[in-house]
A and B are shown apart, each in its own frame.
Chain A
């Protein structure tokens, strides 16, 4: 049976808007991207059998809109402004490692129980989004370009005006921060 696309689109709109806001951190630009996505979706004539396949299709359109917006923006993530993001990361690093750079006994990573099972739970994704949202803005921009929008680091350098080595350091800090956030707010409570 074919999906009622109009009503599904309205039901999925908040998901699309959250997705766009996370990537763009600009309510106006996020709204524009979602509007354009909904318009493209209404004009499209594909038939979908499930909400999940429809959502996958919509997110793919939205991602392309977001990528276009990012490519159209001026280089605003100057290396100097990334320095503002660094203070908190140094604190995290100090709390994780001892003076010789080894894990503190209480922070040494353990096993995460069954991540695939977590991926099936809406509650996990709420935590995941909150963790992304807590990243400092410039760090978040670089990380999401890389891991969610699928840019190669070379293009991230070009679009943001930072060096490759700076980009790799920013990505490392983002992963370290997100890993710690997921550990604390999700996996420590799931059979940990």
Chain B
């Protein structure tokens, strides 16, 4: 089973490259049982949205 530390690495990598099947399965199983990492994944998604917004001049 992945540790949370390893899971956070994979959640970042999936924003930059295609994960291998074994990585995808490992991550999915981990997210199934770990609320902290599931929240982390949403949060780095928010971070990405914020960067897009900032980079396109869409800030108030």
Q: Are B46 and A112 in contact (CB under 8 A)?
A: yes
Bound-state CA distance A146–B52 (Å) is 10
* Complex contact B16–A112 (CB within 8 A): no
A55 within 8 A of B: yes
Question: What string of 1s and 0s marks CB contacts (under 8 Å) between B37-60 and chain A?
Answer: 101101110111111111111111
Q: What is the total number of residues of chain A having a CB less than 8 Å from a CB of chain B?
A: 45
* Closest chain A residue to B10, Cβ basis: A172
A179-B44 contact, Cβ under 8 Å, with A101-B5, A121-B60, A122-B60: yes
The 8 A CB mask of A102-121 against B (1 = contact, 0 = none) is: 11000011111001000111
A:168-187 near B, CB below 8 Å:
168-169, 171-172, 175-176, 178-179, 182-183
Report which residue of A57, A110, A147, A169 has the largest number of chain B beta carbons within 10 angstroms of its beta carbon.
A147
- Cβ-based interface call for B3 (8 A): yes
Q: Min CB distance, A69 to chain B, in Å?
A: 15
Write the chain B residue with the least CB distance to A22.
B54
Q: Mark A63-76, 1 if CB is under 8 A from B, else 0.
A: 10000000000000
Residues of chain A touching chain B, judged by Cβ–Cβ distance below 8 Å, are: 52, 55-60, 63, 93, 96-97, 100-103, 108-112, 115, 119-122, 125, 128, 146-150, 153, 164, 167-169, 171-172, 175-176, 178-179, 182-183
Contact B55 A109, beta carbon cutoff 8 Å: no
B13 touches A172 (CB 8 A): yes
Additional A-B contact list (11), CB under 8 Å, known A52-B58, A172-B13: A57-B57, A63-B55, A108-B35, A111-B42, A112-B39, A112-B43, A147-B51, A147-B55, A148-B51, A168-B13, A179-B44
Known: A109-B43, A172-B12, A179-B43. A120 touches B60 (CB 8 A): yes
Instruction: Place the interface of chain B in its size category.
Output: 20 to 34
Check B55–A150 contact: CB distance below 8 A.
Answer: yes
Q: Are B12 and A176 in contact (CB under 8 A)?
A: yes
Which chain B positions have C-beta within 8 A of A101?
3-6
Closest 10 CB pairs of A and B: A101-B3, A59-B57, A108-B36, A172-B12, A101-B5, A147-B51, A109-B39, A148-B55, A56-B57, A103-B36
Q: Are B57 and A102 touching (Cβ within 8 A)? A: no
